[in-house]
Amino acid sequence: MLKDNKLFMMMKVILRKDRVSILVWSLSLISFTFYVAIAMPYLFPSEADLMAMTQMLENPAMISMLGPIYGGPDYTFGAIMAAEMLIFTGIAVAVMNILLVTKHTRRDEEDGLIELIQSLPVKKTIPLKATLITYGFVNLIIGLIIGIPLELMHIESMDMMGSIVYGLTLSAIGIIFVMLTGLMAQLSSSSRGTLGLSFLLLGLFYMMRAIGDISSEALSLVSPLGLMMRSKPYVDNSLIPLTIMIFASFFIGYVAISLNMKRDLDAGFLPQKNGKAEASKYLSSPFGLIVKLQKNSLVIWAITVFILGASYGSILGDVDSFLENNSMYGQLISNINENGSVIDQFVAMLHVVIALFGTIPVLNMILKLRKEEKKGRLEHLISRSVTRNKLMTSYLTFAFLTSILMSISGAMGLFVAGNQATQGGLNFVKILEGTWVYLPAVWGMIGLSSLLIGIIPKWTKGIWFYLTFSFISIYFGGLLKLPDWVPKLSPYGHVPQLPVDSYHFTGSLILIFISAITIVIGISAFSRRDLDNPA
C-alpha cells in the first residue's frame, strides 16, 4: 500500500482534514466507555443491585431495545457492560462513519473537490479507496484503543480477550458502515441522499434485530447490529461474527469501488427524474423556499419521533415489573423524580427523551441558515430585497413549527402504543401536556442558536455539544451519579416533570423570556454583520 503513493497521499489529506472530527468522536466514544466501565462497580455495589439490573436486562422489552444479554445466570460486570453499552456505542460508531464518509464521498463531489483530484493524473477510484481505507483504519484504531486500556484498568471480570473482542466488535460495525456508506454514495447522486439511505439502513438494521432478538435469531443474524452482539464479549469472545463482518465489508467495499469505476462524476445509479419548469405559487418567499426544501426531512423526522414515542410506549405495560427494583432505569428515573407511581416516573422520563430527541430537527432547521450562508446561497435572497431580518425570522418560524410538530408526533406515538400496552391507561391530553412543557426549553435552544449565528457564527455547531451535554446530564445523570446542579446547566433541567411534578408557569416564562431576548439579539447581530464569503 505504501507503494501506491497517490493513495497514501490522498489518505493523508483526508486525515488532515478530519483530524478534529475524528479526535472529537474518538475521545467521546472512548471516554464514555471508560467512564461506564469504571463506574460499573460503584453503580452496583451489592449483589442485589446486580440482580436487579440483570433482571431488567432480561426483560423482553429491554432486549428489543438493547439486544440480548449473554452469560447468565451469574452475570459478570463484563457481561452487563456488553449488554448495556455495546449496541448504542455501535450505533454511535455507525453514525460517525456515515457522517464522515459521506463528507469525503458525495459532499466533496458536490463541492467539486473530486473533480479537481480526478483532473490530476490519478486513478478515478483513488478518492473513494482512500476514504474507505482511511476510515477502515480509523475504526480499527478506535476499537483497539477502547479494547486494550479497558483490560488494563483491571476491572474484575473484564479480561484481556474480552476487552479486545469488545473493541473489535465496535471496529467491525464501524467498518461495515464505512463500506455501506461508500456504497450508498454510489447509488445516490447527492450527499443528502447518501445520508438518508445510510441512516435508513441503520434504522432498518436496528428494527430487524429488535424484532429478531425477540422472535427470530436468523433475522438478527442478517442485521449487522444483531450479528455484532453475537461476538459475546466477556462471555464467549467469539470471533466468527467479526470475521463474517470483515469479509462482508470487503465485499461491500469492492462493490462500491467497482460501481464508482463505472459511474460518471456527479451521477448516481438510482434514477433521477426531471422536475417542474415553473415554481408552484407557494415558492415566492424565503419561508416558501424553506418549506419546499425541508418538508421531506420534516416528515421523516416527525415519523421518526413518532416511532421513538411508540417504541417506548409499547413497553409501558412491562414497566412495573422491571422498575420495581433499584435498577439502572430506576436510577435514571429517580434522578428525575422520586415521587409518583413507577409508571408516571417512566412516562416523565419518556417526555424528556422525546423532547431532547425532537430538538435535533429543530436545531437542524436553524443551522440550515448558517449552512446556506456558507454555501453562498443567501446572497441570492438578500440581493433581491429580502431583509436579513425577514430571512432569519423565516428560519426561526420554521424551527418553532418544527418544535411543536415534534412534540405532538412524539406524544402521539407514545399515546397510541402506550395506551395499547396499558389497556387504555393513558390520557392523551396529559401526555401532550407532558411533552409541551418542554417546548420553552427547546425554544431556549433556538434562542441560543440564533445568538451563535448572529454573534459567533463560526461556533454555530457548538449547539450540538450543548444538546449532547443536556442529554447526558439529564438522561444519564442518575446512572453516572452526577451532582444535582449539573442538569440545571441545561434548559431541560428547569422543566417540571409531568405527570409527577406539578406545573409552575414561572419556569416556562423565564425560559420563554430568555428565548425571546436571545432571538432578538441574534437577529439584530445577524443583520449587522458581514455575511461570510462562500468557501
Least distance to another protein from the beta carbon of 200, Å?
18
Judged by CB under 8 A, does residue 433 bind another protein?
A: no
- The answer to whether the beta carbons of residues 432 and 410 sit under 8 Å apart is no
Of the two residues 381 and 442, which places its CB atom closer to another protein in the complex? 381
Least gap, CB of 127 to another protein (angstroms): 19
Q: Which amino acid is at 364?
A: N
The DSSP 8-state label assigned to residue 532 in this structure reads: P
Nearest approach in angstroms of CB 266 to another protein is 7
Report the nearest approach of another protein to the CB of residue 246 (Å). 35
Q: Is 386 in the site for another protein (CB under 8 A)?
A: yes
**And the C-alpha cell for 494?**
428547569
**381 near another protein, rule: CB under 8 A:** yes
| Of the residues 12, 377, 461, 481, which one makes contact with another protein according to CB under 8 A | 377
Can you tell me which of 275, 338, 424, 458 binds another protein, judged by CB under 8 A? Answer: 275
The three three-digit cell numbers of residue 397, written as one number:
418560524
By the rule CB under 8 A, 376 interacts with another protein? yes
Q: Which of 379, 461, 505, 509 binds another protein (CB under 8 A)?
A: 379
Position 371 contacts another protein (CB under 8 A): no
Are the CB atoms for 130 and 253 separated by under 8 Å?
no
Q: Least distance from C-beta 103 to another protein, angstroms?
A: 16
d(CA 32, CA 18): 21
How far is the C-alpha of 393 from the C-alpha of 366, rounded, in Å?
10
Side chain identity, residue 21: S
- Of 11-19, 50-58, 62-70, 267-275: span binding another protein (CB under 8 A): 267-275
- What is the C-alpha R_g of the chain? 24
Answer yes or no: are the C-beta atoms of 362 and 446 closer than 8 Å.
yes
- Residue 289 found at the interface with another protein (CB under 8 A): yes
Among 3, 154, 384, 458, the residue binding another protein under the rule CB under 8 A is: 384
The C-alpha cell 489529506 sits at: 13
* Least distance from another protein to the Cβ atom of residue 533, Å: 7
Tell me the window of 343-351, 354-362, 383-391, 445-453 that interacts with another protein (CB under 8 A): 383-391
Q: Looking at 117-125, 244-252, 272-280, 436-444, which segment touches another protein (CB under 8 A)?
A: 272-280
Least distance in angstroms from the C-beta of 525 to another protein = 12
- In contact, 274 and 379? CB cutoff 8 Å: no
Residues in Cβ contact with 439 at an 8 Å cutoff, skipping those fewer than 6 apart = 403, 404, 407
Between 238 and 393, CB nearer to another protein = 393
Instruction: Please choose, out of 8-16, 73-81, 82-90, 184-192, the segment that lies near another protein by the rule CB under 8 A.
Output: 184-192
Judged on CB neighbours under 10 Å (0-12, 13-18, 19+), 364 is: middle
Nearest residue (CB) to another protein, 12 versus 380 = 380
Shorter beta-carbon distance to another protein: residue 462 or 534: 534
Sign of the four-CA dihedral 63, 65, 70, 75: negative
Sole window of 6-14, 173-181, 277-285, 315-323 interacting with another protein (rule: CB under 8 A): 277-285
Of the candidates 46, 119, 383, 506, which one interacts with another protein according to CB under 8 A? 383
Contact 348, 340 (CB under 8 A): yes
Q: What value, to the nearest 5°, has the Cα angle with vertex 412 and ends 398 and 293?
A: 25
| Stretch (H or E) spanning 329 | helix 328-336
* By the rule CB under 8 A, 380 interacts with another protein: yes
Give the CA-trace dihedral at 464, 470, 472, 478, to 10 degrees: 180
**H helix runs in 44-153, sequence order:** 47-58, 60-66, 77-102, 108-110, 113-118, 126-152
Q: Which three cell numbers stand for residue 457?
A: 457564527
At residue 223, the 3 state secondary structure works out as: coil
Say if residues 511 and 491 touch (Cβ distance below 8 Å): yes
Ramachandran angles phi, psi of 361, nearest 5°:
-65, -30
Residue 263 in contact with another protein, rule: CB under 8 A: no
- Would you say 217 or 379 has its CB closer to another protein? 379
How is the chain split among helix, strand and coil, in percent rounded to 5?
75, 0, 25
Q: Is residue 274 near another protein by the rule CB under 8 A?
A: yes
Q: Which stretch binds another protein (CB under 8 A): 73-81, 228-236, 279-287, 499-507?
A: 279-287
299 near another protein, judged by CB under 8 A: no
Segment contacting another protein by CB under 8 A, of 285-293, 310-318, 340-348, 510-518: 285-293
Angle at 75 between CA 70 and CA 81, to 5 degrees: 70
Q: What does the block give as the cell for 67?
A: 439486544
**Is position 271 an interface residue for another protein (rule: CB under 8 A)?**
no
Q: Given the rule CB under 8 A, which of 158-166, 242-250, 284-292, 434-442 is the region that contacts another protein? A: 284-292
Give the interface segment with another protein, choosing from 13-21, 229-237, 504-512, 524-532 (CB under 8 A).
524-532
Burial class of residue 54 in the structure, from the number of CB atoms within 10 Å of its CB (0-12 exposed, 13-18 middle, 19+ buried) = buried
* Lookup: cell for 515: 428565548
> Does residue number 278 form part of the binding site for another protein (CB under 8 A)?
yes
Residue 295 CB-density burial (10 A; 0-12 exposed, 13-18 middle, 19+ buried) = exposed
Q: Establish if 385 lies at the interface with another protein (CB under 8 A).
A: yes
Distance of CA 500 to the CA centre of its chain: 28
Among 6, 17, 124, 192, binds another protein (CB under 8 A): 192
Q: Which of 21, 31, 215, 284 touches another protein (CB under 8 A)?
A: 284
- Establish if 285 lies at the interface with another protein (CB under 8 A): yes
* Interface with another protein, residue 338, by CB under 8 A: no
Binding residues for another protein, rule: CB under 8 A, are 110, 189-190, 192, 266, 272, 274-279, 283-286, 288-289, 292-293, 375-377, 379-387, 528-531, 533-534
